[in-house]
Amino acid sequence: MEKASLSSISEPQESPVSSKKTPVIVKVVAILAPDDLDINSTKKGSRFVGSLPIQRPWIRQNHRHTERSPSMAPRSIEQTLAEAGRTGRPRRRIPMIDTSSNVCRTSSAPAKAPSAPTTVKSVEAGPTRPREIARGFEQRVSRLPPIPPRMPNVKLTLGHGKDGIRPTFQVNSSPRRKHPRLPRVPQRVEEKTSALASWATTAILGYQIMFQASFLVSRRTNLAHKLPGLWRWSSTAATSDTSNLPLHGVRVLDITRVLAGPYCTQILGDLGAEVIKIEHPTRGDDTRAWGPPFASYTKESGRKGPGESAYYLAVNRNKKSLGLNFQNPNGVAIIQELARDCDVFVENFVPGGLAKYQLDYASLSKINPRLIYASITGYGQTGPFSKRAGYDVMIEAEFGLMHITGSRDGPPVKVGVAITDLTTGLYCTNAVLAALLGRQKTGRGQHLDVALSDCQIASLTNLASSCLISKKPDTGRWGTAHPSIVPYQAFKTADGDILLGGGNDRLFGIMSEVLNQPDWPADERFASNAQRVKNRETLEEAIEQITRTKTTAEWLDAFEGSGMPYAAVNDVQDTLNHEHTRARGMVQTVSHPALGEIDLVNTPVKYSETQPRIRTPPPLLGQHTDEVLRELLGLKDDEIAKLRKDGIVA
């Protein structure tokens, strides 16, 4: 527990651009009574002047410490004053806080009174201040969210009322800057510590009033970007259509490309997070050029070109697009400033590739210690292959999946979709959600190292376990068949294919009845699954001779209601038009600003209370550049125009 001298709080210094600030005056209704101030030791006539204890609520969210170090033990008024250097006892080093300049210096000397009119008054500690005051204050504080690492310019005045100390806060809202903060050198750890210390004194006293201030301060004051994690006053970050979603209020910076990363951030966006997708200002995401097919632009849009790639449209809904060139120092500064107030940062560059831009975890975590930084790579941040680039198909080949995929005795083939990318995106999403929960306990972010190779190995599940236990090679490729179950595969019909799954003796008996072969279950060759596996080829050939005699639809009608697992082998178009697909709402029509009405695959999980949905279509390249720079960074139109002219944004 550190002590901060209240008498060291000086009047905020007005900068040239702050002369038009509109102050918002809010009074605190909570009475100052920190839990380590021994109220019972105060006597009538005693005076409390000097240091007040500062808790560090950004270390834990709920302030209910299960263990208390010796430095956190309750202290009497005399002990507090002694440690502040007001008696002959050894002095502690007291943080000297200047809220106007965000500078924290440590000194062994007693704090000097400010030159401005005194803002701290002596307080009579009367006998009518019960311990319940302290407990009530602690309970109110314990319910508050984590305190942000930054604070607006705040002036604190302590006055003495009949109920005890009553602080008055003057919150100066920040106007828009006359000049962009570019370029900006990343802050050092010491500077970040100073920024934290600059508001520590006022945080424990007046954290509640910031909630009241949020209703009074206009969005035009541009105060929101100074209070990360509490309010999002951009036009879409805190709109009513996300307020009931699980990740409402979470902001994500996405500088990923292609599939694994965009798939992860799309899921986060579906769950209510504000996702800002940073793309190259002219090329955009690589997948914008991956086609055909393309969704054509409408005539009304006035745009030229083939349209928007179907591949890109598949994994970029519920996002904003910021066209930005971070090979320019000013572009780097913009990302760093955005990262300051973001919760999650997702990238998929080769390990070390972002360090030269000071956009790696080591750099951004100094700017924002609460940042959750997810790195998606082919082979991870460590290991002999870590520096290699890798696409999904390379990982499929090198880490076992392709070897077990394909027809029996045929060549290895890749899976029809980039399943390793998708699996990695899902794992990364889970990791981000877990890290957000972990941050509520620790108050700090962390680095997530997500490798396609690791996720691919994890997806081998039972096959990997079989090899580990048996110490033998895998059983190879089986097509649609199962190495340990017969019948369990697709069979040809008169016009297509049908898949039958006889996973046990009962189901095999049902299938035999539908195929009009009631004697098969009694046949010694097919009496048990072990015997059916042994005589696999004979049984499979006999089944397919029968299934070829009817169409797929006829066999579907025959197996309907039998209790036998079966399915037609449909193509993708049939799947999207399937009556069950439509009944489950898995295809949603959305309005795109340049494409008109388009159909997209919807988010799959159905929630009873907080249902995610496609709120916004995949954005055009740079569609939200002006909005992000204006709303989140406070840049003016002429400043944005200059950045666009210089090729930094688009």
Q: Write the pLDDT tens digit of every residue in 149-180.
A: 444 444 444 444 444 444 444 444 444 444 44
- For 3, 160, 343, 396, 461, the CA distances from 279, given in Å and listed in that order, are 46, 55, 19, 27, 36
Q: Say what the pLDDT of residue 504 is.
A: 94
Residue whose structure tokens are 């050939």: 541
592 and 630 in a common domain:
yes
59 and 129 in a common domain:
yes
334 and 261 in a common domain:
yes
139 and 110 in a common domain:
yes
Domain annotation covers residue 390? yes
Beta bridge partners of 323: 279
Q: Which among 189, 223, 257 is the end of a domain? A: 223
Q: Is 421 a catalytic residue?
A: yes
Number of domains the chain contains:
2
246 and 126 in a common domain:
no
Q: Is the dihedral of CA 602, 604, 609, 612 positive or negative?
A: negative
391 and 253 in a common domain:
yes
246 and 201 in a common domain:
no
Q: Say what the pLDDT of residue 436 is.
A: 98
Domain that holds residue 389: 240-459+588-645
DSSP for 180-207, written as a single string: ---S-PPPPHHHHHHHHHHHHHHHHHHH
388 and 326 in a common domain:
yes
106 and 144 in a common domain:
yes
Domain annotation covers residue 487? no
Domain annotation covers residue 284? yes
Domain annotation covers residue 518? no
What confidence category does residue 136 fall into, taking pLDDT thresholds of 50, 70 and 90? low
- Among the residue ranges 141-155, 235-249, 434-448, the one predicted with the least confidence is 141-155
Domain annotation covers residue 187? yes
Q: Tell me the average pLDDT of the chain.
A: 75
Residue 119 predicted with pLDDT over 80: no
Q: Which among 223, 250, 273 is the end of a domain? A: 223
322 and 436 in a common domain:
yes
Residue 389: CATH number of its domain: 3.40.50.10540
What contacts 561, CB < 8 A, 6 or more positions away?
none
Angle at 82 between CA 78 and CA 85, to 5 degrees: 145
Domain annotation covers residue 551? no
Q: Say what the pLDDT of residue 390 is.
A: 86
Choose between 623 and 76: higher pLDDT. Answer: 623
Q: Which of 421, 449, 519, 646 is an active site residue?
A: 421
For 360-408, what is each residue's pLDDT tens digit? 999 999 999 999 999 999 999 999 999 998 889 999 999 999 999 999 8
What is the Cα–Cα distance from 319 to 558, expressed in whole angstroms? 46
Q: Say what the pLDDT of residue 100 is.
A: 39
**Which residue type sits at 314?**
A
Q: Which among 167, 194, 223 is the end of a domain? A: 223
pTM of this prediction?
A: 0.64
73 and 24 in a common domain:
yes
Q: Which two tokens stand for residue 463?
A: 């096959």
Q: Say what the pLDDT of residue 459 is.
A: 96
Domain annotation covers residue 230? no
203 and 250 in a common domain:
no
Q: Say what the pLDDT of residue 409 is.
A: 84
- Among the residue ranges 158-167, 258-267, 605-614, the one predicted with the least confidence is 158-167
Domain annotation covers residue 477? no
- Of 47-51, 121-125, 308-312, the range with the highest mean pLDDT is 308-312
- For 52, 122, 171, 303, 458, the CA distances from 46, given in Å and listed in that order, are 16, 10, 32, 76, 67
